[in-house]
Structure 1
């Protein structure tokens, strides 16, 4: 599977057809919203999709997100203490760095470059295909703000 970000409406239409799905305005609105705002929650995707398609319902967005995630057209990941986030970057073994203060999320390339990039101490008989790593820290903007606040 290839990374599928930066496709635009025509590319998404072709991908939907390749996956056996009809091209609908709801699916295109959701894909466009996730593409424009990677690492977004379903609520943020709903708000963005409504800019393009005001009549789209929350239920439609959740159904489309679930379906396209199951198909592998979207990736869902769950940062600690946060709702699930979605992105169009799929098919590679990248990870995420998350600021524990502001919630900013950035992609982090795999340390080795291929899946799995980590060797577990125990596989329990499973063939490991993906290592889902989340780095949690403080982004440079939040660190600068903290440094600028005088100590009490």
Structure 2
């Protein structure tokens, strides 16, 4: 879990410090790459009650001001993380949907150069690696071994 100071982070972005904002920001830090429903459940354990709409509203505001990064792997609901401001990518398991951070090999943005920028000033390239996590690969190996007996 990444250690953060939600009230200070909110104040730095000139946002009012509210219990829902603190709870949602803390939930995102405690559950990197979680979807909004998971974040809402985590925030409710802290607050007791918060509407799903309030969680979505807070996530939108936090994303807009750069406190939270929203990622959307193909076929997956939006996921959120507090690791912002660096140039990192993600690897997604095709079987279970688990997501992990992958540091950029180049380090600066954009880490890829487009073959044709079509007149755009490119400032970011988003890379998603796809594969099978070690847990799913291990389970598949075990299941394949059992079926051959």
Aligned residues: 145
> Is 1:74 matched up with 2:68?
yes
Q: Which has the higher contact order (CA 8 A, sep 6+)?
A: 1
Separation (CA, whole Å) in 1 of partners of 2:3 and 2:43: 17
- What SS does the aligned partner of 1:135 have? strand
Structure 2 equivalent of residue 27 of structure 1: 21
- What SS does the aligned partner of 1:116 have? coil
Separation (CA, whole Å) in 1 of partners of 2:140 and 2:79: 26
- What SS does the aligned partner of 2:100 have? strand
Separation (CA, whole Å) in 1 of partners of 2:37 and 2:116: 37
* Structure 1: gaps of 5 or more residues: none
The Cα offsets for residues 16-68 of structure 1, whole Å up to 9 and x where unpaired, read as 11211110000000000000000000000000000001111111100000011
1:121 pairs with 98, 115, 123, which one? Answer: 115
Separation (CA, whole Å) in 2 of partners of 1:72 and 1:90: 7
Q: CA RMSD in A?
A: 1.1
Separation (CA, whole Å) in 2 of partners of 1:77 and 1:23: 25
> Is 1:6 matched up with 2:3?
yes
Cα deviation, residue 6, structure 1: 2.2
Separation (CA, whole Å) in 1 of partners of 2:114 and 2:48: 46
Separation (CA, whole Å) in 1 of partners of 2:3 and 2:83: 9
Structure 1 equivalent of residue 90 of structure 2: 96
After TM superposition, the structure 1 = structure 2 runs for residues 134-149 of structure 1, keeping only pairs within 5 Å, are: 134-149=128-143
Structure 1 equivalent of residue 37 of structure 2: 43
Separation (CA, whole Å) in 1 of partners of 2:59 and 2:134: 31
Q: TM-score, normalised by structure 1?
A: 0.91
